[in-house]
Structure 1
Amino acid sequence: MSAAYPLSSCIEWQFAEAGDLAARLHAAKAAGFELAEFHLWRDKPVAAIADALNETGMRLTGVCVDPRRSIVDPAERAEMLAAVRETIAATAILGKPALIVASGFKVEGMSEAEHFDNAVAALRAAADAAEAAGVMLLLEPLNTRLFAAMYLVSTKLGLDLVEAVDSPNLRLLYDVWHSAVMGEDMAEVLAGRIHLVEHVQVADIPDRNEPGTGTLDWVKVAATLRDLGYTGAIGLEYFPTMPMDQSLAQSQRMLAAD
């Protein structure tokens, strides 16, 4: 039995024994992956990663905009847009992967409407830059357990922002773990809006390990994605508790369609 979706290894946390991210790509390929993703790029060997992608034929599903800057604080707007442009330029040799954007923290004294309007303005400008470069931006809601003051910790709000920006180059990254930490009902928050979701990431509750090591109902998760009509890849963004060949096999079982 295999997973219904292509699976992407988060080499930020997986295959660490292989060495740097270029070496981890080779290890992921040997383990059966065709897709991979990682977080920030400025401290990574980007040229070597590009070589490893060419050598393995693997593809990146996502890299984070670096440095992270607020989409809701007007004082950081210029830095946020500069980070988007610089990340677009730096990751072009990596095959123009999707670029992941987090919101930044709430601004004290700012109303919810002002937060939303500032976020839309920043994301619209960023999406224009992404569209010009032929790159997809992925807006990612996080959770208050890790980031108490983070602005975007709601899937509904994230989808509302994507709809308000109304750009073909801005979509949502839906992370099952962040969503579950926030107590969201997956089917409810994604109903009728799965077309706005470009990428899904998974990890089990509570400790962010592979599916099947915690309390989430993975039969329900897989069925919900299938019933909603999701057709993209799934990022295995978790800390493995077992060798990655076993971890991949377990993830495939948990995410099987049947």
Structure 2
Amino acid sequence: MSAVYQLSSCIEWQFAEAGDLAARLRAARDAGFDLAEFHLWRDKPIEAMAAALGETGMRLTSLCVDPRRSIVDPAERDAMIAAVRETIEATAILGKPDLIVASGFRVEGMSEEAHFANAVAALRAAADAAEAAGVQLLLEPLNTRLFATMYLVSTSLGLDLVEAVNSPNLRLLYDVWHSAVMGEDMGAVLADRIHLVGHVQVADMPDRNEPGTGTLDWPAITQTLRALGYDGAIGLEYFPTMPMEQSLAQSRRMLAD
């Protein structure tokens, strides 16, 4: 394996001085990135971004299904599936990046069993659409600090859902920062299940900045990921505290073996 992971810039939060996301793609390429990712797409210049990707040779690792709709509320299921289908169609010109799905909020009075069953049903329908289009979905657990009543705030539960849906086009997005906020032991929650993880994102604790600016043990994190067998890209989903050239250099140091 390589001595350092391939890194993906979150242009939603990085290279803001460059302008819109098409300009940020070019700035990211100039800074040495081959990969990028962002969040919602409906307010973004998709055609200009497609042109920038063609010019730079960059690849998008992921973006979010837009609008966000609940996977646990049956009243939102049709809208959730429609959002997946619309996102697949609208972002195909961006190279069919992975599409991130969050869970939505808990439904008051609903049992844990019903939450799980509703989530599986919604994700199964979404995975059917993804399979037909040749696109991968990423299910992302978040955290209760940001979203007090979010349903999916557990890596283990997220992996249970991925296993239950049993689609090759549905994987987990493991975010080191969300997981750390929830007090998870990364090695424990990912043990024997790393094959279900499609992407990893990073930021340091507590303030979601560059690796090395906070309290997390990055050598231990990268060693754990290697030991588990993860060899995919790592998304730098953090708020930079320094110019991106320096920020990228620091991230590379922190995330090297």
TM-score by length of 2: 0.99
Alpha-carbon distance between aligned partners in 2 of 1:5 and 1:164, rounded to the nearest angstrom: 30
Identify unmatched segments of 5+ residues in structure 2. Answer: none
Match for residue 181 of structure 2? 181
Alpha-carbon distance between aligned partners in 1 of 2:31 and 2:244, rounded to the nearest angstrom: 7
Residues 59-109 of structure 1: per-residue CA shift (max 9 Å, x gap):
000010000000000000000000000000000000000000000000000
Alignment of 1:3-152 (within 5 A): 4-152=4-152
Identify unmatched segments of 5+ residues in structure 1. Answer: none
Match for residue 235 of structure 2? 235
Aligned CA RMSD, in angstroms, stands at 0.7
Match for residue 153 of structure 2? 153
Quick one: percent identity of the two aligned structures? 84
* Contact 1:3–1:255 under 8 Å retained in 2: no
Alpha-carbon distance between aligned partners in 2 of 1:132 and 1:100, rounded to the nearest angstrom: 17
Match for residue 199 of structure 2? 199
Alpha-carbon distance between aligned partners in 1 of 2:4 and 2:33, rounded to the nearest angstrom: 14
Residues 214-234 of structure 1: per-residue CA shift (max 9 Å, x gap):
000001000000000001000
SS at match of 1:177: helix
CA distance 1:122–1:190, shift in 2 (3 Å): same
Residues 152-199 of structure 1: per-residue CA shift (max 9 Å, x gap):
000000000000000000000000000000000000000000000010
Alpha-carbon distance between aligned partners in 2 of 1:226 and 1:245, rounded to the nearest angstrom: 26
Q: Aligned letter for 1:111?
A: S
Once superposed, which parts of structure 1, at least 4 consecutive aligned residues long, lie more than 2 Å away? none
Match for residue 221 of structure 1? 221
Alpha-carbon distance between aligned partners in 2 of 1:179 and 1:124, rounded to the nearest angstrom: 25
Alpha-carbon shift at residue 4 of structure 1 (Å): 1.8
Alpha-carbon shift at residue 3 of structure 1 (Å): 5.7
CA distance 1:253–1:3, shift in 2 (3 Å): farther
Alpha-carbon shift at residue 248 of structure 1 (Å): 0.3
